[in-house]
Each structure stands twice: as structure tokens, then as C-alpha cells.
Structure 1
Amino acid sequence: MKILVPIKRVVDYNVKVRVKPDQSGVDLANVKMSMNPFCEIAVEEAIRLKEKGVATEIIVVSVGPTQAQETIRTALAMGADRGILIQTDDLVEPLGVAKALKAVVAEESPELVILGKQAIDDDSNQTGQMLAALLDWPQGTFASEVAIADGAASVTREIDGGLQTVKLQLPAIVTTDLRLNEPRYASLPNIMKAKRKPIDMKTPADYGVDFAPRLQVVKVTEPKKREAGIKVESVAQLVDKLKNEAGVI
């Protein structure tokens, strides 16, 4: 079974992002970039399925600038077999990514597509669902457990009342949640081997995909800074401030 894993290059989750002075977006100059954490979980799950003998090949695909090759090589060092980069310097929206992935699926014919439920930069949480709609494939979202058997995937997800399990006939789409697994660290030998693994460089034109934006960002602003707390001398003073200043009681 062939598994396709879309991954995204984002600002590292440890970095404190800064908004550009003109409020047109986030300043990415000299900022550390890495693989989206949810994408790491998707790669790890695909590798585990291969280690169980369920999968035979893992292909990772990314849409982004040339520097996204490093993100792909991280996935290759973890254990993926092959990488595809659809190179573009444009800001790509979820629908554009989904259309590009549909074209890749048509070319590669995977039986399972595993991707992160969302990216930590835009938090869109749309690409997996849009891809399932475009392909007319069954989907299991926010997976906390995945099992493959007899040509079907059992996907367990957390809901308010506990756990919900859905059974999907392959081919299918699965999006990963944080509790699915703990991604492994790539060893130094595997990092060196990943540098020799192939990455197919593609362009949007190769797949006939138009990344023209359909949304307009009006402005990006930083959240309001948190005000410092104060100490009160008595319960009566606390109640007074909650009632007259905070207006919560």
C-alpha cells in the first residue's frame, strides 16, 4: 500500500512571531522554519504503518518555496521514501493546496492520504476536508488512533462524550490529532542518507493548478498585551473590584 503524506513548512513553534510594521502579515525574515507539528505526527503514523508491514512506500509532498526541500528532507530522514515539492513563492490557500494534492493523488495513486488536521501558522483546518470532497473519498478527521485491516481504515477520534470510531473503505483521507503518536527524532545517519534521497521538483503548471488567491488579508495585528495583575488586601476588596472594575459580578 502506498501512503501520501502532505507536509507544510511553517514558523517553528518555539519562535515568537512578529507582525510587519505595515500589518500586511507576519515577518518571516531570519526566522527559524520547521515542519508543522501536526505534519510530523502524520509522517510518524505513516512510518509506523510501514514498520507494521501495512504500507510499502511513503511519499511526502509539500507546496511552497524552494527552502521547503529541507522540510521534505526532515521527513525523509524520519523514514519516508520519496519527496515531491510543488515549488511556488506565492501564498497558497487551502483550496489551492487541495487541488494540487488531488493532482498528485491522480499521478501517484495512493490508497491512503494522511495529513495534519491543521497548520499552526494559519490554523485553517480545511485542506484534508477539501481534498476528500474533491476526490470524493471517505474521510476520518482528528484521528487519535488509526488501524488498517482488510482494505479498510478504522479511525478513532475524541468527542465530547468520549471516543468515536469510524470505518473507512480505502482509499481514504485521514487527518491527525496531537494524541495520535509522538514523532521520532531523526538519527544522524538517516539525516545523511536523506540528503541523497530524490526530491521531485514540480511547478503548479505541471499539475494545471492555479494558486490565485480567493481571500484578501485586510491586516494582521498582534493580540492585546496582557495587563499586570494586582494584589488585594481582603475578600471585600476583591469582590468590589470584580463588581465595579471588571464588571464580572
Structure 2
Amino acid sequence: MYRIFIVEDDEKIAVILRGRMEQYGYEAAAASEFRELMPQLEAFTPHLVLLDINLPYFDGYYWCRQIRMRSSMPIIYISARAGEMDQVMAIENGGDDYITKPIQLELLMAKVRSALRRAYGEYAALPEKTGGGDADGLAGSGSAVRYGSSELSAHGLKLHLSRSELEWKGRKIELTKNEGLLAECLLRKPGHVIPRESLLEALWDDVQFVDDNTLTVNVTRLRKKLEELGLPKVIETMRGQGYKLSEDVLREGAAT
């Protein structure tokens, strides 16, 4: 049974969410104290977190970063903030998805099921145990990685699949789950345009519920990571088509 931890300071909403999760067969618990969330998380060992942004003491962005220091479990933001920058910040701070209030419960459940399938179920490469936590006390720690133990490379740019880590000229940088999936799609066909639809399907199996802007945000995050490695503009946007990994930029970078 998957465990869902709800971080929502509106008690009525928390009760509704907990009831809906249990209705669908999940074990659910809601945060009871918002000054210190991590002990509650560690005690419950969830597989997925539903996280509000406007919280007492520290906001949801802060807690998402704290969770990401220990775990790659799926985190879905639930917030009344509907602005584009709020969603960008949510993803930049480590979130996997975002849903606005008032909550459409069936849409939320579709996103929850999708995230759990990607992280632990039929779309995960490695089987996951759901009966207990990992060594650090969080069931999702490191468990959402989809990859095997190989690597992909193109003109010196390497993606270590088992670690979801990019390497360029000896420099390494860790990727989130979605960044790793995007990098994998692009590195499997360097120089070829990967359609937006293909990338959406690779990241989210319930594509009909995904805002196309979410893909753009994830690509932007991956571009920033590549820029930190010394590869600006290596991901090219092909208007009306998709994205491609520029072999010319890689060759030029390798030669310098």
C-alpha cells in the first residue's frame, strides 16, 4: 500500500484530501505541526507528498528543498497560486507536478496515480519495496530513478543513468528525475529533433493532464544545468517541432 503524506494547513482541505486518498486504497496522513515537518515525514515514510505552498513558519518551496536533500519521492504541489512564476518556482525547487486550487479531485488522483507508477510501478525500471522505509527513513529516497547501470554519451557529454548525473570534461552535476529523463531522450538521438509529444510521453504517462508549459519549464532547468557545466545553448528549440541536442555545440566545446 502506497503512503501519501499531506502538507496542508487548511484542516478542511486536509481532511478531504486524506479521505480521497484512502478511498482509492492509499494510506494517508496529514501534517499536524508545521514548524518541523521532517520528523513527521520520517515517521510516516511516505511514497509521495502533496505539498501546499502557503504554510506557517516556512513555505512549501523550503520544505520541498529539505525533502529533496534526502529523497527523490514524487512531490505534487497543491496551491491557490495560479501564476506562471509560482509554477516555475515549484519545479525549480524540486517539485514534480503542480495543481491549483480549487482542487479538481479526479485530476489530482490521475496525477497521483501517474507519479506513483513512474516512481515505483509499471514504468519504473527497478522494482520498489513498499513495505518500509529506506536507511534514511524516507521510503522514496533514491527510489524514483528509472535507469539501469549504463551510461549514454555524445561527443564527450556523458549521462550516468544509474546516478542521473551529467558529466562534461570532468565536471559533474546531479539531475532531478525529470531532468534525467529529458537528458536521456536527447542523448539517445543527438542532432535529431525530439518532438514535444515524445518528451511529454517520456515524462508523464497521463499526457492529457499536463500543461505544455510544464515541459518548457523542465527544459529550462536542464539548460541551466548544462550551462553550469559549460555548455550553453546546447539544447536547441525547434519551433513547432520540439528540441534537439546540438552536435555542433558539443564538437566545438570538446575542441576548446
TM-score bracket, normalised by the shorter chain, equals under 0.3
In terms of fraction of residues, the more strand-rich structure is 1
**Larger RCO (alpha carbons 8 Å, 6+ apart):** 1
The TM-score, its normalising length taken from structure 2, stands at 0.25
The structure having more radius of gyration, on CA atoms, is 1
TM-score norm. by structure 1 comes to 0.26
